[in-house]
Structures are given as C-alpha cells and as structure tokens.
Structure 1
Amino acid sequence: MTSVTARDYAWIRSSPLFDCALEIGYTVSLVRGVAPREVLRMMEAEPQGSCTGADELIERQDELRDPEDYSDESFMAGAFTVPGEGGDWTLVLHVGEGGMGMQSRFLEALTDGGCAAVHSSNGGKPMHFFHWYEDGELRTTFEWPTVRHGSTPDALNSAMREVGYVLSDDEDGTSGTSERVDTKAAAFALSERLTGVRVTEELLQGAEYQLGYVPEEPPREIAGGQG
C-alpha cells in the first residue's frame, strides 16, 4: 500500500480538467483484473470506438446529449488499462452531465472475485461519494467521511485518517497541519491507497480510451401497478 496523502492530489485544484469535472460532475472507477472492453460490456454500454485523452472524451459526451434535457442520465464512459496493486486495473472515466457512473449492480458483478474503488461528484449541488467493493460486495461507502455504510463500514478507517480524512467530531479537521484537508483530494488518495494507481492529469490526457455509451436506466416498475 502506498503512503500517498491528500497533499499529493493538490494538483486537482489547478487542473482545467478537474475544474470542469467538479463543476459538471464526474466519476472515476478503478476495477481490478477486468479488461476495458469487458468492463464496458458488463456496464451494458454500446461500443463507440475510441478516443485519445479526456478532452476528446468530454467532447464525445457533449455530442450525444440534448442540452435541453436536464433529466437525461445517459453518459459516455471511457476505459483504459493501467498497472496497479496486484496486476492490471481498468480505469473508467465519465465527465459531464448525466449519470453518476456505474450502477451498483454493475460493480457487484465486476468485483465478483475482485475489487473496485469509485469516487464521484454530481457537480452543481454538490454531492460527493466514495465506494469500495470487494468480492461482489459493497464493503465501505460514504458521502461524508463521518457517516459510513456498507458491510464493513469501518474497514478503511486507518487508511482514511492517513490520507487526511477527519472521522469524528473530536478531531480538529486539520490532520496535524495548519490547513483543512481537501476531501476531494483525499478521495483520490484513498483510491490510490486501495488500488496502487496514481491518477495524474498526464495519465488521463494521454490515455487511449475505449468508449461506450451507457443508456439511461429505464424507470422501475411499481409492484402491483399504478393506482
């Protein structure tokens, strides 16, 4: 496990890419041991060829959306392989209006015998989430680091504190520094602690992405019908 902390991801606050991502929403997913094309297939994505760099991925996302349809949750996902802890991982990136990335049912299937780390923001409001899946099970998830859920909600507590998260009201919120911790940078750092994958601007802008269009989830039927 690496010794990375939130400080190592301070670059996101001067990044044009993540300035955009935090404004309009993003999801970064890392899945171990499943190839990019297979990840997209299991996400029920429609193949859309490939592109180079996150900027082109965002352009492709913008092309498919109706700017007047604010409720559309379809999105373009880009996936590529990156080395990490225990072998190869697939990084899946989505930046833009639309869904919040992978549905839980996809992650449960993708991590059967494996694991995944996912962090996201819906932009605007904002809401920020972190999910850790292992062996098909949601082990730890949180929006606020002090309120954790999952089958083992406290399993990551040590790593969370080490990267900079504050986990209780008794802690001062500074992690031993004179500045409050950037919780979004801490999410990147926690993901790296779990996966061994260092995410950089250069990595995301230089990658060759396999693309898949993930359609909007159909509305769920109410048991017994309406009325």
Structure 2
Amino acid sequence: MSLQPIDVSWLCGEYSWESCSFIYVRATPEQVVARLGGRWEDFTPGAFPDDPDDFPGPGEPLGVTSIGDWTFVLDPDWLGTCEGVITELSRGTRLVSQAALAIKCIDYFYWCEDGEIRFCWGDDEGYPIGTPDELVDTMADIDRLYPRFSYLYKGPAFLLVEHLTGIRTTERLLKGSTFRWGVVPEPAKSKPQ
C-alpha cells in the first residue's frame, strides 16, 4: 500500500519554534511511565496544548496518552534521542521516536525493536545504520512524495511512524486525546546542539 502525504502544517506552523520528542511505544501508558522511572499515580489528566503558548518547555512535565495498543509520549525535550532510554523502553516491544527543533532545522528519528536500534536518522548523520529491507518501499514512497532533503518533521517522519505503528498522527488525533501529565527523573543524556 502506497503512503499518502500527511498535513503537519499545524505543527510546523504554530509550534515550529518548539523542541519536542514524540515517542510511540507498544505498551500501556502505566508500563511506559514506570519504565521511565515515574509514578503513574502522580500523573494528572489534561489536554494536548491547544495554544502554542501553553506548549511545555524543556524540564516541564511530559504527556502520555493511549492510542490503540500504543502509548504516545509528548516530551518537551530530547528524551526521544537518548539512545539508552529508548532502547530500554523498547525491551520486549517496538518503539518509534521522532524529535525536532524546527527553528534550527534539526530532527531525529529512531526505530527500536526489543532493545536494539533498527533504524535511525539524525540531523547530519544521514542513515548511519542503513535502511532495513522493511523500510525500502516506504522510503521510496517518501522520496516520491517529498522533495529531496525535506526535513523529517515536515512530513516524512510522520509517514515512517504510520508505517511502523499504524498510527497517523494528526492534529485532530492529538488534540482529541486525553493525556496524563507528569514528571519522570531526568535521564543522563546529551542534547543535540
């Protein structure tokens, strides 16, 4: 099945100055929060920020919601690029993460299976692991739909997410979901510069 373009103008427009990670884990929200070192009972209900001025910044709580069999995590920082964290989160399951700082045109993408990175793309790194056979057709579709050198956060990453998770991440989906917001311990990580 051929992929179709996805409209991410809402994210690239209003929220484009924000840094954030979108992390998708095939597990329950409670399991994901526990694996991150948080306590589910400390997370409080809330909506996806409707106004860009309300978007959480680095160091502020992250949001977690359930989408089918998956947990979606909105981290207002670079958690989705911390290889030690995402490989551990993927133990026994699949994890896909995308992170961007659109104002600097920096973006990252990871696909992990059971503790191993299967595919990653990073700002200046290209495809350091190589493209797995499972993604060859999808990457060809993305090359057909988007101009060469398109930033992942402007659409391609969302198509990779859709291919790997079955989730088409839209404004309506995120703003229509009930999140739980809370804090997890700061992992030892380095942020992209």
Q: Common fold, TM-score beyond 0.5? A: yes
Tell me which residue corresponds to 1:161. 140
Pairs within 5 Å for 1:50-61? 50-55=45-50, 59=54, 61=56
Kept after mapping to 1: 8 A contact 2:15/2:52: no
**Cα distance between partner residues in 1 of 2:112 and 2:38:** 21
**Cα distance between partner residues in 1 of 2:52 and 2:89:** 23
Kept after mapping to 1: 8 A contact 2:25/2:89: yes
Q: Deviations over 1:155-186 (max 9, x none)?
A: 02332122x23xxxxxxxxx2x7x72644201
CA separation of 1:26 and 1:118: change in aligned 2, threshold 3 A: same
Cα distance, 1:51 vs structure 2: 0.4
Tell me which residue corresponds to 1:67. none
TM-score by length of 2: 0.79
Choose from 36, 45, 51 the match for 1:43: 36
Tell me which residue corresponds to 1:180. 147
Tell me which residue corresponds to 2:98. 119
Which ranges of 4 or more aligned residues in structure 1 deviate by more than 6 Å?
none
Kept after mapping to 2: 8 A contact 1:74/1:215: no
CA separation of 1:58 and 1:210: change in aligned 2, threshold 3 A: farther
Kept after mapping to 1: 8 A contact 2:106/2:123: no
Q: Which residue identity is paired with 2:25?
A: V
Tell me which residue corresponds to 2:2. 3
Between the two proteins, the alignment pairs up a number of residues equal to 182
Tell me which residue corresponds to 2:71. 90
Look at both structures and tell me which one has the larger radius of gyration over its CA atoms: 1
Kept after mapping to 2: 8 A contact 1:30/1:118: yes
RMSD: 2.8
Q: Which stretches in structure 2 are left out of the alignment for 5+ residues?
A: none
TM-score by length of 1: 0.69
Cα distance, 1:37 vs structure 2: 2.2
Kept after mapping to 2: 8 A contact 1:40/1:212: no
**Cα distance between partner residues in 2 of 1:219 and 1:193:** 28
Choose from 103, 116, 128 the match for 2:107: 128
Cα distance, 1:44 vs structure 2: 2.5
Tell me which residue corresponds to 1:12. 8
Kept after mapping to 2: 8 A contact 1:42/1:106: no
